[in-house]
Amino acid sequence: MNDLQQQYRLEEVRKVFGRHQIALDGIDLNVQRGEKLALIGPSGAGKTTLFRLLNCTLRPTTGKLWLDDCDVESLHGKRLRAMRRQIGTIYQQHNLVQRLKVVHNVLAGQLGRWSTPRSLMSLAKPADLGLAHKALEQVGIADKIFERTDELSGGQQQRVAIARVLVQDPEVILADEPVSSVDPTLASTIVRLLIDISESTRKTLIVSLHSVDLALAYFPRVIGISHGSITFDLSPDKISEAMLEGLYAGNDREQPATEAVNEPASPIAYPSIS
């Protein structure tokens, strides 16, 4: 795989909700295949909206978004679903089915490839225990495979969400505030885990973080977003305290926050059984 191949290209991307709520305003961004980068910025800056454009659950109001040299605007139906399968998203709220066992939530990473009958059969009898066990082993909780998800800690549930993405085996991993609900020590562990996965599998990794320290410590490229625009796009050594103060002017950058947008995030669709 060629690390210099372009994965994402955004030109003058603007996203407006309703008539007047401008979430993104003139975003220009290039991401190379295999890159690792962090997004930082205050609550409401546009980070979550940008993520939803990158995972193809939203489309720009104006401007252009290319993924693997394909204009996302031209994708519909099967082609759009195929493209989405190449993008794994880890959400702040985990998006797990709490009443199911861990193994079922992990194997949900296969739902985009499985037929409905196979998905239903896997709910009764997990279809690929070896794959689920390997993914859970990578995130350090293989012993939890048959436990109910709602019996796990928040940090363990986040690892289940990461294991689900490993089973999905996408080209891109997007992690939207993946450590905002865990303590600082565990936050560092999870960020390092994501970095290790990206490096060992050569997957593109884009992480949104409320912790500036984590972004500067672990990512070779850090992008600051404020008021829907990119304020800076630099390596950590080139980011000054004055730049950070300007980015968070009027905000407390140590406080985790969830961006509000007018459309809910798309949940994972699990087959239901009566």
Sign of the Cα torsion 30, 193, 94, 178 reads: negative
Contact 41, 231 (CB under 8 A): yes
The pLDDT tens digits of the residues spanning 185-205 come to 889 999 999 999 999 999 999
Provide the pLDDT for residue 128: 79
Residue 77 domain-assigned? no
Within the chain, which residues score under 70 in pLDDT? 1-4, 112-126, 250-274
Residue 210 inside a domain? The answer is no
Q: Give how many domains the chain has, as a whole number.
A: 1
Task: State the pLDDT at residue 110.
Answer: 82
Question: In this structure, is residue 130 part of a structural domain?
Answer: yes
Query: Is there a domain that residue 163 lies in?
Result: yes
Which DSSP letter does residue 67 get?
E
Q: What is the pLDDT of residue 228?
A: 95
Q: Is 67 among the domain residues?
A: no
pLDDT of amino acid 265: 38
pTM comes to: 0.84
Integer CA distances (angstroms), 157 to 86, 88, 267, in order: 22, 16, 16
- Note whether residue 113 is domain-resident: yes
- The parent domain of residue 110 ranges over 96-169
pLDDT at res. 197 = 93
Flag whether 222 is in a domain: no
Inside any domain, residue 259: no
Reported as a single tens digit per residue, the pLDDT across 133-179 is 999 999 999 999 999 999 999 889 999 999 999 999 999 999 999 98
